[in-house]
Amino acid sequence: MFDEKDVILEAKHITRKFPASGGRTLTACSDVSLKLYKGKTLGLVGESGCGKSTFMRFLVSLDTPTEGEIFFHGKNITQLKGEELRQNRQYIQMVFQDPSASFNPKMKIRDIICEPLMNFKRIKASEKDAVARKFLEMVDLPGEFADRYPHNMSGGQRQRVAIARAIALEPEIIVMDEATCALDVSVQKTIIELVVGLQKQKNISIGFIAHDLGLIQSFAHQIAVMYLGTIVEVLPGEEISTSAMHPYTQALLGAVFDLNMDFSKKIESIESEAPSPLDVPPGCPFQNRCDRCMEICREKRPALIDVAKGHQVACHLYT
- Residue 53 predicted with pLDDT over 70: yes
- Residue spans of alpha helices (H) in 203-294: 213-216, 240-243, 247-254
More confident call, 93 vs 274: 93
Helix axes 128-138, 109-119, angle to 10 degrees: 110
Q: Which of 56-70, 114-128, 201-215 has the lowest mean pLDDT?
A: 201-215
**In whole angstroms, how far apart are CA 282 and each of 13, 24, 76, 231, 301?**
19, 16, 31, 16, 7
Give the three-class secondary structure for 138. helix
Specify the pTM.
0.92
d(CA 125, CA 46): 43
- Residue 259 predicted with pLDDT over 60: no
Q: Which fold has domain 4-91+171-318?
A: Rossmann fold (3.40.50)
Q: Give the tens place of pLDDT for each residue, 83-100.
A: 999 999 999 999 988 888
Contact 64, 132 (CB under 8 A): no
Q: Give the tens place of pLDDT for each residue, 211-240.
A: 888 888 889 999 999 999 999 999 999 999
Q: Which pLDDT value is given to residue 253?
A: 87
φ, ψ (nearest 5 deg) of residue 191: -65, -45
Confidence of residue 311 (pLDDT cuts 50, 70, 90): very high
- In the chain, residues under CATH classification 3.40.50.300 are 4-91+171-318
Of all residues in the chain, what percent carry a pLDDT higher than 90? Answer: 70
Give the list of residues 6+ apart from residue 63 with CB closer than 8 angstroms, or none: 16, 54, 57
Confidence of residue 269 (pLDDT cuts 50, 70, 90): low
Q: Give the tens place of pLDDT for each residue, 3-46.
A: 888 999 999 999 999 999 888 999 999 999 999 999 999 999 99
d(CA 171, CA 232): 29
- Residue 184 predicted with pLDDT over 80: no
φ, ψ (nearest 5 deg) of residue 79: -110, 10
DSSP 8-state assignment for residue 50? S
Beta bridge partners of 177: 209
Confidence of residue 79 (pLDDT cuts 50, 70, 90): confident
- Residue spans of alpha helices (H) in 125-172: 128-138, 155-167
Give the three-class secondary structure for 108. coil
Give the list of residues 6+ apart from residue 177 with CB closer than 8 angstroms, or none: 53, 56, 94, 95, 96, 97, 209
